[in-house]
Chains A and B, each alone.
Chain A
Amino acid sequence: MAANPTFKTPVIARPTEELHEKMESMWSDPPGLYGWLGTTDHKKVGKRYLVTAFVFLVVGGIEALGMRLQLAQPNEHLLSPGLYNQFFSMHGFTMIFLYSLPILSGFSNYLWPLMLGTRDMAFPRLNAFTYWVFLLAGIFLYIGFWNGKGTDVGWFNYVPLAERAYNPDWNVDVYSLGMIFLGISTTAGAVNFIATMFRTRAPGMSISRVPIMIWGTLVANIGILFAVPAVSLDFLLLWLDRRFGTQFFNPSAGGRPLLWQHLFWIFGHPWVYAIVLPAMSIVSQGLPVYCRRPLVAHAAVVLATILTMVLGFGVWVHHMFSTGLPVIAMGFFAAASFVIVIPSAVSVFAWVATIWTGRPVFTTAFKFFAAEIVLFVIGGVSGFMTAAVPLDWQLTDTYFVVAHIHYVLIGINVFPVVGGIYHWFPKMTGRMMNERLGWWNFWLMFIGFNLGFFPMHISGLEGMPRRIYTYPANLGWGDLNLVTTIGAFVFALGVLLFVINVVRSRIKGPKAPPNPWDAATLEWATESPPPSYNFAVIPRVATLHPLWEERLDGSWQSALDEGAVLDDEHEIPATTVLDAEPDAIMKMPHATLAPISLALLIAGTFVGLLMSMWWVTAGCLLAMIPALLWWFWPSPEMGWAERARP
């Protein structure tokens, strides 16, 4: 038996019919349940992320509609105060943790390898693992709710209310452990994106030719690496306080409740950027396509994205202005919060200039992207206002802040996400979405959103506090709240139309060509939907806009239908960090059950911790050792083992 080969010169060729067939037989997943559970195909993982996160959006949205019905008029009794508390808490963490980031991970997982001109993520099994952990953590976080004991102290989960003395039920334990559990998925995903960006780009895609969407996601994921540990630690300390009587947050034993808030917001504010920067980069990627020109000031937008993330780590105290901190600290953090406006404005002006100097095509996707600019400006201005300490004291914990967070998170996350689906749906499914339904979809969402959330600014200015389950009639908030409720339902109707459009187009939309929008990046160079191997030959990239070279630069420079074949099982080129020169051939794994097994063992560990069944936890932890050995076993298939094959 021959030893595993150690060197190989890639064959450069044009794809043939035989090559396509050979690649399909090598890269497609095995049939049946094994292939379904064991797939490591980034496109399948990405679509699962998108669908699962969208289901959580619908669940969180239904919770919101329940609250809006309760608040539509004064003195209503649809929801009890206790149930209302659960609704707003579950709504908050569902949207912020189970929808906002996972939906963006869905886009990134699906699009990254296609945009980078390669065949999978750097760690395909880790990719599958992050999805299973996300799914299981999402279910875990909801188990309390189904038992009538959902978490009910808000998604900030402030102590001392969240301590055992005030909240003896297991609801906060579910939330605490669930957040640590979910953090594993988020962190592992971030590691994967970083390694993918730095090692797997197509030959020639030097650092200046990386599409803007990759930058947005990369920067957010580097931020996640340093932000998520703060909240995981915070919840771990709280769980230790609750379960083992440690004293981290107990002031009578030297602890401090404000420690919770510091750690929470050290995470919380960077998290805001983690869930908007990739969405902003969806706009930066998609908007220019419909303006028929490249993004204005690409490099400035990239640098502004990086700067926003860096500054995002230095503003957390602006969530704590009302807690009695020293004036000097508040002054510093207020100033830092103002400064963030500058990089944010760079993106806004770049988008406006792109539309201004382009020839816009008013598709549904364009409308969603353009609406994002408007909503971002409104949400940005209300955020800028609350960065001023005296105004923040007036507005904190009122509906003004609720209006702000929704303009930011729906405006900069949901609108780009829906626009992004309209943009990439043809690539993902091979079918076009319906533009007429899209028109209704957009205008219902846009009008409903503004009708629902703009009046919240006014009710906030009139002093309506957030998190109240009802209010007396003589305060005069009834009309504003009725308008808000109507707007919320119009918005929900728009989302419903979106779902209908997706399902209908999936079944009987017209067939999509490879590049229906005539876009510039590599994902449009392959078929719609892409084959399991993405590209039969690895493209070589020479500019930032490989599909637009002829009209922008006068001649083709990138090689898209001639390239490295790499057809000995799962192979992709590894390239250098800055210049993307190929320096190795990476072997990629096949479908395997190791990721889902490990995810289930982690779930078992957390269930054991929740129920205080220590033997379950210990058993699962021990079983992880063989599971990890199985996963990491150096196999010839992965290009590891040097010795002869057995």
Chain B
Amino acid sequence: MTAYDERTLPRPLPIGPAGYRTPGWWGVLALIGTEAAVFAYLIFSYFYLQSQTSQPWPPSGLLPLRWSAPSTAILLVSAATMWWAERGMRLGALIRLYSGLTLTLLLGIAYIVLQCFDWRGEPFLANSGAYGSLFYAITAFHVLHTAAGVLILAAITGWCALGYITPRRHSAVTVVALYWYFVVAAWIAVFITLYLLPWITPHGGPP
């Protein structure tokens, strides 16, 4: 055996989840990949059934933007507050971190509330036709992801406040931010598909 390569190991290494590409980062990236695939297959189902129908799509006319437009804006702002918090974490600005996380959490809850109002205002039900089934499946699936994100934000905020997670080991916050950006991005895809595209093809269905 040759002498040990001096270049590789005998130097100080950080202990624990330090840096960006921690195993947790890879894990959450893989999780996001698989969850994004679910959204992709839901949207595939939506377009597939739209392509097969001769009825108006959506069946009861264009969806109102009264709740969904503000909720989209809220989610976009929450991505910004999340980014602001995560940056603050890396810079060691803890007040910025706490306030950013709390703001993101509250905006997430606000989005869920607005989506409930949106559901209340829709004239169709989940069992009144394939369109309604898809609409509620897609939006509910997204609300569930947001609710999970809100719970995760609550946990991470608590752990930061308890002093478990500090700027040197910020990867937990980085990873949560990554998940939150995914939630926002998935909503943009859902919003464009369900709420905006029917404005361009007002009657839906094949020509």
Interface residues of A in 228-249 (CB under 8 A from B): 228-230, 232-233, 237, 240-241, 244-248
**B9 in contact (CB, < 8 A):** yes
Pick from B21-29, B80-88, B190-198 the stretch touching chain A.
B21-29
Task: Convert B66-110 into 0s and 1s, putting 1 for each residue whose CB lies closer than 8 angstroms to a CB of A.
Answer: 000000000000000000000000000000000000000000000
Flag if B18 contacts A559 (CB, 8 Å). Answer: no
Within 8 A of A (CB), among B26-46: 26-27, 30-31, 33-35, 37-38, 41-42, 44-45
Among B23, B52, B130, B155, contact of A195 (Cβ-Cβ < 8 Å): B23
CA distance A203 to B128 in the complex (A): 59
Min CB distance A584 to B, Å, is 5
B137 within 8 A of A: yes
> What CA separation (Å) do A226 and B37 show in the bound complex?
6
In the complex, which of the residues B49, B130, B172 contacts A634, with contact meaning CB atoms closer than 8 Å?
B172
B contact residues around A556 at 8 Å (CB): 1-2
Please count the residue pairs between chain A and chain B whose beta carbons lie under 8 angstroms apart in the complex.
Answer: 215
Does chain B have a CB within 8 A of A254?
yes
Which of A194, A563, A585 is within 8 Å of B15, CB to CB?
A585
A540 touching B130 by the CB < 8 A rule?
A: no
Contact B21 A199 (CB under 8 A): yes
Residue pair A237, B137 in contact (C-beta under 8 Å): yes
User: Is the Cβ of A240 less than 8 Å from the Cβ of B10?
Assistant: no
Q: Are A191 and B30 in contact (CB under 8 A)?
A: yes
Pick 25 A–B contacts, CB within 8 A, sort by A.
A4-B15, A9-B11, A9-B12, A9-B13, A10-B9, A190-B30, A190-B34, A194-B27, A195-B23, A195-B26, A195-B30, A199-B26, A203-B8, A237-B133, A237-B137, A245-B127, A253-B129, A254-B53, A256-B48, A262-B48, A263-B44, A559-B1, A559-B5, A641-B163, A642-B168
Instruction: Tell me the nearest residue of chain A to B37, going by C-beta.
Output: A229
B16 adjacent to A639 (CB under 8 Å): yes
Classify chain A: how many residues form its interface, as a range: 35 or more
Instruction: Give the residues in chain B near A199, CB-CB below 8 Å.
Output: 21-23, 26
- In the complex, how many angstroms separate the beta carbon of A579 from the nearest chain B beta carbon? 10
CA distance A32 to B17 in the complex (A): 31
Known: A246-B137, A634-B172, A642-B166. A5 touches B41 (CB 8 A): no
User: Could you tell me the distance between the alpha carbons of A225 and B35 in the complex, rounded to whole angstroms?
Assistant: 9
Whether the Cβ atoms of A263 and B41 lie closer than 8 Å is yes
Contact B4 A12 (CB under 8 A): yes
Q: How far is the CB of A132 from chain B (nearest CB, A)?
A: 18
Specify which chain A residues have a CB less than 8 angstroms from the CB of B4 in the assembled complex. Answer: 12, 540, 559, 562-563
A631-645 CB contact bits vs B (8 Å, 1 = yes)? 011100011111100
Determine if B151 is an interface residue (Cβ-Cβ < 8 Å): yes
**Contact residues in B for A377 (Cβ distance below 8 Å):** none
CB-based contact A255/B133 at 8 Å? yes
- Once the chains bind, are A638 and B16 in contact (CB under 8 Å)? yes
Q: Does B159 contact A (CB under 8 A)?
A: yes
Q: Given contacts A559-B1, A574-B23, A642-B169, is CB(A230)–CB(B13) below 8 Å? A: no
A305 to chain B, nearest CB (A): 19
Residues of A within 8 A of B55 (CB): 254
Contact B1 A561 (CB under 8 A): yes
Smallest distance from the beta carbon of B149 to chain A beta carbons, Å?
14
- Select one of B14, B128, B132, B165 contacting A640, CB under 8 A: B165
